[in-house]
Structure 1
Amino acid sequence: MKEAAGAQVTLLDGGAEAYPRMLAAIASATRRVHLEVYTFEREGVGSRFVAELTAAAQRGVEVKVIVDGWGSMGESGPLKATLQAAGAKVQIYNPLTSLFTGRAWRNHRKILLVDDRVAFIGGVNIGDEYMGAEGEPGWADLVLELRGDICVQLGAKLQAGRVELVSGPVRVLLSGFSGGRRLKNRYLMALKHAEQQVVLAHAYFLPDRGFMRALTRAARRGVSVHLLLAGRSDVPFARAATMRLYRYFLRGGVHIHEWTASTLHAKAAVVDGKRLLVGSFNLDPLSMVNLETLVDVEDEGVAAQATAWLDKHLKASRPIVLADCSRTGLQAWLLDILGLAGARFAEAFANFMGRRRRR
């Protein structure tokens, strides 16, 4: 655990490291447990979370669980019945029936807060895929464990909309509805001030033109810019859309690496070995309108932990060169069409939902 000027910050490697600590925190809860996840699978490790949440509620702890109606489709109903029977409060955020009323934006946050003393924020949902098994790595992702005053602040603001909390070098941002611009601007500010190196690991990477230009401008002024992207994805059209951008970035001096050992699910960046950004926020149109989280930590010790994680994954990834972008034939044509369609749909949907929220 790294002490960052009053806030204790620990970087955890995916579900394998995060789940035991999250379960232990719930097991020790005496007053309050707040859990928000996009996807909650009840089997496997999910059954252990159900058991600990149930036990906490039965011993009088205030337990509140929020799952997304789309991300936890098929799981949310039985989960709600089980936990409510134990005395917990469960909210299914925008269930599928809400689509008929135009409420299609999602709660994409991943937050566990226990007794306002420890918080876990990152990209990890509740599911076995984040742990790996039988020598196979789990989905590549990151979680920050936070302790200190920042947790007290978070506990007081969880029901609010757009929130920005600060404790020493740690800044926690909750986007609110259609509030992704502020989170994206944290990345843009970090890019603008980068002097030596920027490494981004993003699962669903479909930035707007302004962000694309910010990356290539950094590369052209001598910053070493590396993108760790998904060589395998749980959303195929998202990867196809990202691949359409490879030629632009490579010609602009940006290095691209594809992680293929497992599914890449991280949303993180390290700048100059001094600053870490990590959370649920993807650099894509949908994260601009969904409920998201981002933690911005300006601390060399914490950034060093993230740099070690990124270096390990970069070394095991496949470097992409311009020749890889010159494939022809039916398969390449179909992937390009799929990628273009996916990109246009994501942009149109995000714009539509943003206009609805502003009315």
Structure 2
Amino acid sequence: MLRLTLAIVVAAISMSCSTYRAASPRPPSFAIGHPEETSLGRAFSEQIGPSPELSGFHLLVSGQEAFLARAALAESSERTLDLQYYIVAEDASATLLLYRALRAAQRGVRVRLLIDDIYAVGRDFDLAALAAHPNVQVRVFNPFTYRGPLGISRMFELLGDSARLNRRMHNKLWIADNAVAVIGGRNLGDAYFNVGTDNDFADLDVLAAGPVVMEMSRSFDEYWNSESAIPIAAFLDTPPGAAQLELALSRMAAHAERFHATEYARTLRASGIGPLVRAGRFPLVPAPATVYDTHVPALADVGTAKQGRPVAMAIRRLVENAQHETILISPYFIPSARGVDLLCGLVKRGVHVRVLTNSLASTDVPVAHAGYTRYRPRLIACGVGLHEMRPRVGQSGKYRPGLSSGASLHVKAVVVDGKSVLIGSMNLDPRSRQSNTEIGILIESTVLGTQLATLFEEASAPEQAFRVELTELGNKNAALVWVGREDGKLVRYGSEPLASVWRRMIAGLLGTLAPEELL
């Protein structure tokens, strides 16, 4: 009876949903040459200098400066704008940034938008309306076959083709004229730019200018021209035309006008960051750097683990070579038994190892926290310092720079020996290591290392995060205790602090059921 029911449901879904045309034309395109000849390239090169070994960098800590950097690069672009994202939300900030990109297209700039399909459900027509502009191209990475409005169709397809569909493009890139780029952990959406939701993320990007940007463009081109990137026109029998594009532009313009009068917009204008970026005077730290990304598989083997220059290998090599100190920051921290051995081995040879991740109360993915708890006692017992960010309460929409500026931590960063900094899209969990595609940048800079270490110290302070300890030093079987500071006094919790009983139950249940490789 169950088989019959499933067969009927699947048949009904198949008849009610359209499929895409896999053989749709996919003409290749590539980043422009000679980015140093663009206005952005010329302006920022004056700060970096002529050395081909050096690029320039600026940490984008607050959501406001991260939003402004992207907007200013769109406004300053002359030839190309390449955007690659896991999530492009349907909210104020994402709409405004896409509107900036469309305005650039109206000036003659070629715009390429590559978005992962997991959060693009039901948006084929709207995305295709943007692509109705002759200078705008939109492609969807590793799409689901059935495009109907029923979410259940995707659920059944995911169950039947999990090896392929669990392989998601988690990369985040915003590249202007192959000369200046933003890379890091932020998707496009209000929660990532601290617009004022109750679910804001504390996140981190880095603005990069100079030769290293061409490495990012190489990565973008590989994804864009892969057979996993399907043009948006393939999902519609009749793509939108000029009328739908004009309607989309008019709605975006009205949205931008309303946004202009908000308190958030006034804060942005007062910062003065936009003019600095547009003029190439946004302060940069010169340093050598290398981009690491995940090999783009063909659709035929998209479920395999075949990778090239993966971020996970770069992080492991970086941490293995630590001599004095290792700082790991990740919203979802599931190190695996091998990772625990590595970190405990570092401690044994005198390396100071510290980790900042979410608490159960602050995480947006409780099941991932459950995966982390399996390794927590052993890490603490061997001497790894574990800090769990406490949720921000009652501060929605307020400007607060720092790695604890949001209700939930979303930063992905590693600092080794105060001089090697890796920032990107990769979480320190099995999904990022084995399933997702990722990108990161390794920067050799004591200046940036010191900046990020200072941000870590602020975010891990007892007012901002709980330090997790064992009641019996070195005994992994002893009870855990969470130490923080409230109203100037140290407090100790004997169970997951500030987390509801319901959240604890859900995390415990899902943690026992979910395979670790999917967390």
Which bin holds the TM-score, normalised by the shorter protein? 0.7 to 0.9
CA contact (8 A) 2:371 2:511 kept: yes
Q: Corresponding residue for 2:35?
A: none
| Structure 1 residue aligned with 2:121 | 73
Number of the residue aligned with 2:11? none
Please identify, of 142-151 and 175-184, the stretch whose mean Cα deviation from structure 2 is larger: 175-184
CA distance in 1: counterparts of 2:415 and 2:116, whole angstroms: 29
Q: Using the alignment, how far apart are the partners of 1:139 and 1:267 within structure 2?
A: 12
* 8 Å contact kept, 1:42–1:50: no
Alpha-carbon contact 2:295-2:309 (below 8 Å) kept: no
> Which has a greater percent of strand?
1
- Provide the residue aligned with 1:126 in structure 2: 188
Q: How does 1:56-71 map to 2 (within 5 A)?
A: 56-71=104-119
Deviation at 1:35, TM superposition (A): 0.3
Q: Which residue of 2 aligns with 1:355?
A: none
Please give the per-residue CA displacement for 1:169-198, whole angstroms capped at 9, x wherever unaligned: 201011124428832222222222212211
Separation in 2 of the partners of 1:53 and 1:307? 34
Of the three residues 304, 319, 329, the one matched with 2:467 is 319
Structure 2 SS opposite 1:17? helix
Aligned counterparts of 1:309 and 1:72: Cα–Cα separation in 2: 34
Aligned with 2:202: secondary structure? coil
> For the Cα contact (< 8 Å) 1:242–1:339, is it kept in 2?
no
- Residues 80 and 169 from structure 1, CA distance in 2 versus in 1: closer, same or farther, beyond 3 angstroms? same
Structure 2 CA distance, aligned partners of 1:119 and 1:212? 34
SS state at 2:408 partner: coil
CA distance in structure 1 between the partners assigned to 2:343 and 2:62 by the alignment:
27
| Larger Rg belongs to | 2
Residues 268-288 of structure 1: CA deviation (Å, up to 9, x unaligned): 111111111110012222212
- C-alpha distance in 2, partners of 1:332/1:138? 22
Distance 1:183 1:331, change over 3 A: closer
Alignment match, 2:512:
340
Aligned with 2:450: secondary structure?
Answer: helix
| Residue 131 of structure 1: how far off its partner (Å) | 2.5
Pair 1:269 & 2:414 matched: yes
Distance 1:90 1:330 in 2: 41
Residue number in structure 1 paired with 2:437: 291
2:380 to 240, 246, 250: 250
Does the C-alpha gap of structure 1 residues 330 and 36 become closer, same or farther in structure 2, counting only changes over 3 Å? closer
Q: SS state of the match for residue 132, structure 1? A: coil
Change (3 A) 1:235 1:157: closer
Match of 2:351 in 1: 223
Instruction: Name the CA distance, whole Å, in 2 between partners of 1:141 and 1:240.
Output: 22
Count of aligned pairs = 341
Shift of 1:157: 4.3
SS class of match (2:140): strand
TM-score (norm 2): 0.61
Provide the C-alpha distance between the structure 1 equivalents of 2:503 and 2:141, rounded to a whole number of angstroms.
38
Unmatched tracts of structure 2, length 5 or more: 1-43, 147-153, 224-285, 297-304, 393-406, 471-478, 482-493
Q: CA deviation at 1:60?
A: 1.6
Q: Determine if the alignment matches structure 1 residue 182 to structure 2 residue 310.
A: yes
Q: TM-score, normalised by structure 1?
A: 0.86
Measured in 1, the distance between the counterparts of 2:168 and 2:88 equals 14
Instruction: Determine whether 1:17 maps to 2:162.
Output: no
Q: What is residue 158 of structure 1 aligned with on the other side?
A: 220
The yes-or-no answer on 1:97 pairing with 2:227 is no
Residue 168 (structure 1) shift: 6.2
Determine what percentage of the aligned residue pairs are the same residue.
28
Q: Does the CA contact (< 8 Å) of 2:84 and 2:220 recur in 1?
A: no
Structure 2 residue aligned with 1:259: 389
Tell whether 2:447 aligns with 1:301.
yes
Post-superposition offset of 1:14: 4.4
- Partner Cα distance (2:116, 2:312) in 1: 22
Relative to 1, partners in 2 of residues 1:334 and 1:59: Cα closer, same or farther, differing over 3 Å?
A: closer
In structure 2, what is the Cα distance between the partners aligned to 1:45 and 1:85? 22
Q: Distance in 2 between matches of 1:72 and 1:226?
A: 36
Amino acid at match of 2:206: L
Shift of 1:255: 0.9
Name structure 1 gaps, 5 residues minimum.
162-166, 351-359
SS across alignment from 1:49 = helix
Pair 1:203 & 2:265 matched? no
State the distance in 2 between where 1:66 and 1:201 align.
Answer: 27
Give the AA of the match of 1:131. Answer: F
Aligned partner letter, 1:207: P
The C-alpha deviation readout for 1:256-307, integer Å capped at 9, x for no partner, is: 1111231111111111111111100122222123211011111111212211
Work out whether residues 333 and 372 of structure 2, in 8 Å CA contact, stay in contact via their aligned partners in 1: yes
Secondary structure at 2:100 match in 1: helix
